[in-house]
Structure 1
């Protein structure tokens, strides 16, 4: 693999004009956070919790672009079984459940708008700042359990530079609960479609040592035929405060998930009986069984009052058993082991008016195993041996410079060097398919923050986007042979505003971003007509990704301790080909033109209740824009009651029992007879309870 002079890039950027600056690096009148409150257990908060609080504040208020914070405690007041539930009210992120029990179609700012729903590329996923996304950029069979999340930071698009990402969709960092910020508890949830889910969390703090263990089990029949799921998981972390200047934490997790796949339906099948499974899925017993082990460590050293160093590593092994295609002519069972090794280094320093962050991410992914011909419940024989590997090195530097009392400029760059090699050997004849490529780029970013008042900001930024293909995209190149796809690249411009405004005993907040990105060589995939369930990938010359992302909420005091809390999340999408030789200026498929989600809750003395709603616009299922999927409106209800050490909740979803399409499979030109529609969840009721001890 070729290596670019990334060290020279970092060295040059470090020489910033900071020696003369004397003003504080963080504005004294930074706006308050609308969504996150960091609380400590009865044992008291440690320096790590304080650093976390500072990080959460900085990620939102000192980033010139769209960043959303998600509080895990609030998620425990409603039914949460997948990423779609976690990200329900995050604007700019389109999530839809229905493909698997835990899985969800995930797209941020128009990433991953193609047929490779299993790949999930375009968004860098992390846990405690350490990579969960594989080194080649794919999120295939990744597991981020909402039950094991204390906070989530969603940095959309180029706003993920602080994580070393330059992807179209940005980054999502799940922050693990510890015994210092989470109580020991028992949680149970039951509901429609045979859902039974429970977890036990036990934590302890003893001086500078703390430890937390969570065991969870989940079982569901699913709202469709052949959609049953069984899952067991274990999460643990332990931390030591090594004096006032150092702390380290170890993480361990294990997940065993067995999941049936119901498959997609034709339009006629969907209208007739959305609960049925595709007949091929039942005959072929299509499954998505994953077993995962993960170990990680993160150590933070406070070098002095203004400097800190963070070092971390992670190692993960995932075993995938995935029968996905079966017919009298062709069958496919994927049986692979994926190993991911990741490392990170962060150096942070305050120099007068500058707040500097330099980082290094290292990643290596290996996939070994094969594609098999199989008979359901019977024999199997290997057809292709798979030996893939990807590497990635990301160097980045970010400076937040408050050059005037109300003004902060945020600028920096990412340097990336990556390699991909997908090697497949056809067993019958020894033919080798071996696409491989090296990818290098420097991706600058510059932004400006203006503090209008103590509680309101304006911001703007311009950034370069860059994303190399995943191993799966290389394998699926429509051209075949050993030629590698090009990396996606482009430029994005963003403007926006955010604020939290008090109004007597009430308060309200907003966060609005408008962005426009012009891309070259975006990688898109469509379902292979010769082998349904597999895909073909290609570079597209020019595309446009633009949109408006808005989150608005309030807490309106009614007197007597009561309040009304409305919350509204709006996403407007403009994703199009730009003068393409085949598709002209057609809309890109899969993402709706608009999404409006929200709720209005009445709250008083631990009680809350109110309606929820979701309005989704139409979208296309093909690049030709000949097959349109209608929009839909869902209405629900939420209620709950909590005491000092307990709480209960209930949630009713899809009150009107709307028949709608959740996820779709993208074609080049879809026909009405194509099985490409995945129905959404029917009317459902869930209840849950939590007891702290």
Structure 2
């Protein structure tokens, strides 16, 4: 069968045809490397450095101990040789895009839970879903459904969201990829395209103007300054999985570029779950001067995916490969085309860096489910952010101020679903969303090692619905403040302690379909520490979020032939509290009389989420996620680049599928193993086995108010699978 099918009524026909043709070529044709132009000259590396105190510079050069790194940065690749981190704000190569080391130095100035996940952590995986990229970050819960779809939750954000993801602000190269009403699509995330991923938990994402409970995730693509001149890879695996990727980057005079094109298909573990995708990520930068750079971004994606649907708990465990027969009868699918074009310009003026830009994001969704959904989304916006880093009266001060605009329109229609074909029109809505925010954050170093941080954000939001065939029109405005205070103590160059108190706010998405839904607000308290020693690294955060009007997405109507979408409502008062911990320990060194290591890597997330004296639900646990979640790996690393070792993913306790706490999802443990050979240039390869004991388990559940065993709420987890891949980097 062809790699990509073209839908009967595409709204972006040229884009789909081009991506389909190129993607088919990627799978069926050999890749030929081209020699670079003999006339090409590389721009010398330009080091852009903000004002840094002499004491900080002296400390940087005098100490060989590496700066604190995220837990994800030590999981689970080979341990690099310790190097001194660059001073925060330092830039080499691109003026507007930090390298991995520079991004790590910058992010470690946040007084709370933050992570940088370098591509070395996920490039030797199938590199197809968001779980491949950030599944080892403590506090991030990713529950797979099928294909690229999953529920992503940080600190309980969007915990009951049954489709789409809410409560996290997603960015690509610092530019929003959420829809203007707050949702984001995981299929647009292509881990094979990124140099690193930044995770900002909760209010630690204020530097982007994010104020959601879950924080922000920023996917950062390479530039020509740090990209391979040529790269190609192929990944294959169980259930018909095939993915091919080609990329290239380089510098010529003031111009640099990066382009990554991937295509993949899979039959799927379950019946009626075939997936086909193609994704393009590219950027082009132009150095206007040593202190000015502009960069253009293009992202284009297409996804055709069959949906197997939820089943009962008994069916999920007894016959996990079977699809819901009614979903098959309706030929339920999710087909999306999207194109995003953006520009970001960066200026350096003395100790101040100014970034500003604009973007537009167009999506077309062809989505036959219980009814046939057909809609266009047109989002657009702009941003400006200034970072001033200088000495004031002998004290270091960093001030960040910014503003964001994210607006959009939705042309939304629903039709009767006649076995996968459009029937009569049932719903026709025009949605308009406006989001305006301004924020400020200041970090003042009262001593060379202690910084006090304070900030706030104001957000004005408008949601308007016009019902073109009915009487369900209305609008709502929200004005929300989100202040924050914190403290960051550098105990030594490799050890930090932090604490913060913050507010967050989230407004309902359009599918709330009601205008009496309140915004969700929360106050979060957090303390923690992170650091590294030559043979030990750690990252631990403890937090408590006290939430008012938590947005819950609860499915309330079921029958043998119909599953209604969830209905969004406000809970009264709830509490989310927990522990996010990551550790890495080299407990065996020079095992074979060489500089090799055996690393034990452990990630633990504790979730204690509950109603707080709710009139209806009392102090019940919130549904959707287990209290105890572990990931661990024992990995042998050889200095040649060879690595091998077993790993385990363990959901150690049951959790509920409903607010009433009547139906549980059982605990499980999954055994895996991986081995490979990784080089920064030349050939690399890997083999990875997942769920090697073929455990039957439930990966995720729809949530509801009151559940019973006959309800079709559950998505079975994937059975035993083996993946392998080879890549060449030049």
Q: How much does 1:511 deviate?
A: 0.5
- The aligned runs of 1:418-429 (5 Å cut-off) are 418-425=461-468
Structure 2 distance, partners of 1:22, 1:254, is 43
Distance in structure 2 (CA, Å) of the matches to 1:51 and 1:670: 48
Alignment gaps of 5+ in structure 1: 1-20, 326-331, 478-482
Structure 2: how far apart are the matches of 1:27 and 1:53? 22
Instruction: Indicate whether 1:597 and 2:631 are aligned.
Output: yes
What corresponds to 2:437 in structure 1?
A: 394
Gaps of 5+ in 2: 1-51, 61-65, 75-79
State the distance in 1 between where 2:53 and 2:603 align.
40
From 659, 663, 669, give the equivalent of 2:696. 659
1:552 aligns with 2:564: no
Give how far 1:431 is off: 2.2
Q: Is the 8 A contact 2:544 2:577 kept in 1?
A: yes
Q: Which moved more, 1:72-81 or 1:452-461?
A: 72-81
Which of residues 153, 161, 170 in structure 1 aligns to 2:215?
A: 170
Query: Residues 12-23 of structure 1: matches in 2 within 5 Å?
Result: none
Q: Is the 8 A contact 2:100 2:195 kept in 1?
A: no
Matched-pair contact (CA < 8 Å) for 2:489–2:498: yes
- The TM-score, its normalising length taken from structure 2, stands at 0.85
In the TM superposition, what is the alpha-carbon distance from 1:243 to its structure 2 partner? 1.4
CA distance in 2, matches of 1:445, 1:27: 31
Q: 1:337 to 1:28 in 2, by over 3 A?
A: farther
**Counterpart in the other structure of 1:492:** 524
Query: 1:423 and 1:637 mapped to 2: Cα distance?
Result: 53
Residues 334 and 55 of structure 1: CA distance in aligned 2, closer, same or farther (over 3 Å) = farther
**Deviation of 1:692 (Å):** 1.4
Query: Is 1:625–2:661 an aligned residue pair?
Result: yes
Correspondence 1:247 to 2:293: yes
Instruction: Go from structure 1 to structure 2 and tell me whether the alpha carbon gap of 1:130 and 1:27 turns closer, same or farther (over 3 Å shift).
Output: farther
- Indicate yes or no: 2:479 matched with 1:440: yes
Relative to 1, partners in 2 of residues 1:298 and 1:25: Cα closer, same or farther, differing over 3 Å?
Answer: farther
Mapped to 2, the partners of 1:166 and 1:338 lie a distance apart of 23
Deviation at 1:25, TM superposition (A): 8.1
Task: Establish whether residue 92 from structure 1 lines up as the match of residue 139 from structure 2.
Answer: yes
1:576 aligned partner: 610
What is the deviation of 1:204? Answer: 2.6
Aligned partners of 2:636, 2:565: CA distance in 1, in Å?
A: 47
Kept in 1, the 8 Å contact 2:502–2:525? The answer is yes
Per-residue deviation at 1:27? 10
Aligned-pair CA distance for 1:371: 0.8
Larger displacement relative to structure 2 (350-359 or 507-516): 350-359
Q: Offset at 1:436? A: 1.9
Instruction: Choose from 496, 518, 524 the match for 2:552.
Output: 524
What secondary structure does 1:511 align onto?
Answer: strand
> 1:67 and 2:125 equivalent?
no
Q: Indicate if the aligned counterparts of 2:68 and 2:496 stay in contact, CA closer than 8 A.
A: no
Stretch of structure 1 that moved more, 275-284 or 172-181: 172-181
Residue 635 of structure 1 is matched in structure 2 by 671
Deviations 1:568-617 (A, max 9, x none): 11000011000000000000000111110121110111100000111113
Output the CA distance in 2 between the equivalents of 1:527 and 1:149: 36
Q: TM-score, normalised by structure 1?
A: 0.90
Alpha-carbon displacement from aligned partner over 1:287-310 (angstroms, at most 9, x marks no partner): 010001110111101112x01110
What SS does structure 2 have at the residue aligned with 1:65? coil
Q: Residue 242 of structure 1 aligns to a residue in which SS?
A: strand
2:67 pairs with 20, 27, 31, which one?
Answer: 31
Q: Deviations over 1:344-365 (max 9, x none)?
A: 1011112311111111111002
Look up the match of 1:674.
711
What does residue 16 of structure 1 align with? none
Q: Distance in 1 between matches of 2:218 and 2:610?
A: 29
Contact 1:451-1:458 within 8 A present in 2 as well: yes
* CA distance in 2 between partners of 1:424 and 1:599 (Å): 53
Aligned-partner Cα distance in 2 for 1:47–1:370? 44
Aligned counterpart, 1:562: 596
State how far apart, in whole Å, the 1-side matches of 2:100 and 2:221 are. 14
What's the offset of the Cα at 1:621? Answer: 0.4
Match of 1:650 in 2: 687
Q: Which moved more, 1:143-152 or 1:567-576?
A: 143-152
Deviates more, 1:74-83 or 1:118-127: 74-83
Q: Is the 8 A contact 2:586 2:597 kept in 1?
A: yes
Match of 1:11 in 2: none
Aligned to 1:133: 178
CA distance in 1, matches of 2:221, 2:104: 17
Task: Report what 1:9 is aligned to.
Answer: none
User: Matches of 2:234 and 2:97 in 1, distance apart?
Assistant: 31
Q: What is the RMSD of the two structures over their aligned residues, measured on CA atoms?
A: 2.2
2:329 aligns with 283
Residues 1:320 and 2:332 are matched in the alignment: no
C-alpha contact (below 8 Å) 2:148/2:186 kept by paired residues: no
Match of 1:354 in 2: 397
Q: Give 1:57's match in structure 2, choosing from 94, 104, 112.
A: 104
Post-superposition shift, 1:618?
Answer: 1.3
Separation of aligned partners in 1, 2:256 and 2:500: 41
